[in-house]
Amino acid sequence: MRPTLSATPKEIVYRQVYTSFQHDESAIPTVEHLGYRNIMWGSDYPHVEGTFPETRKVLHELFDDVPDEIRRRMAIETFNELFDAGEPPG
């Protein structure tokens, strides 16, 4: 390939591509088993295809049995990293 890439395609995607999801149960195993960590959950409020008014139910269905480290990464840390947002208040 010309020009020669500075890293493998996988390394570039893992470093530079961020994704989000709302209802997709496959997102959590992707983080757990593939090591792709740039996935964040979002409600897509106020759009009709979002999770509102069932957001709490969706969160419980998706994250109740997920290890704290992965839940925190997907719900807070990925967003903070991408947007340099810092920690949420209190």
Q: Which tokens is 68 given?
A: 């704290």
pTM score of the predicted model: 0.80
Read off the pLDDT of residues 24-39 as tens digits, 9 standing for 90 and up. Answer: 999 999 889 998 999 9
Report which DSSP code applies to 88. Answer: P
Angle at 32 between CA 28 and CA 36, to 5 degrees: 85
Helix locations, the chain, DSSP H: 9-16, 27-29, 55-63, 68-72, 78-83
Question: What is the pLDDT, as a whole number, of residue 86?
Answer: 78
Q: Which tokens is 20 given?
A: 């989000």
Read off the pLDDT of residues 76-86 as tens digits, 9 standing for 90 and up. Answer: 999 999 999 87
Q: Which tokens is 19 given?
A: 């994704």
